[in-house]
């Protein structure tokens, strides 16, 4: 089973075995990892599951155009940003960093 390491913004590290084929978001929710709200339940409609993929990003399928659109709402966007509900674990270990905020709250006021 792939090992997924979740590093939270307050420097806590959680390394867990996650079943292949689950998403990075599902692995976090099922194991009570804090910081991934996943408000829309994986429907790609919120960006509150935004994470950085520190290691193993090549094992994930490329983000779709829709995912890229939603990532524009994410706080602190980086080149290794993904919506964790769209990042399907593909038999490889991953290191995931959970940002302090997932979405850009300032943009909600427009």
Residues that bind ligand FES (CB under 6 A): 25, 38-40, 42-49, 70, 83, 85
Burial class (CB in 10 A: 0-12, 13-18, 19+), 75: middle
Q: CB of residue 52 vs ligand FES: minimum separation in angstroms?
A: 14
CB of 5 closer than 8 Å to CB of 96: yes
Nearer to ligand FES, 33 or 85 (CB): 85
Q: CB of residue 110 vs ligand FES: minimum separation in angstroms?
A: 19
Nearer to ligand FES, 45 or 54 (CB): 45
Q: CB of residue 83 vs ligand FES: minimum separation in angstroms?
A: 5
Nearer to ligand FES, 1 or 45 (CB): 45
């Amino acid at each position: 089973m792939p090992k997924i390491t979740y590093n939270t913004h307050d420097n806590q590290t959680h390394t867990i075995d996650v079943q292949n084929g689950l998403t990075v978001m599902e692995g976090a929710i099922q194991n009570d990892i804090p910081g991934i709200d996943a408000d829309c339940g994986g429907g790609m409609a919120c960006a509150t599951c935004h994470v950085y993929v520190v290691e193993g990003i090549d094992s994930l399928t490329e983000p779709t155009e829709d995912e890229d659109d939603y990532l524009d709402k994410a706080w602190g966007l980086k080149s290794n940003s993904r919506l964790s509900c769209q990042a399907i674990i593909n038999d490889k270990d991953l290191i995931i960093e959970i940002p302090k905020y997932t979405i850009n709250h300032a943009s909600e006021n427009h």
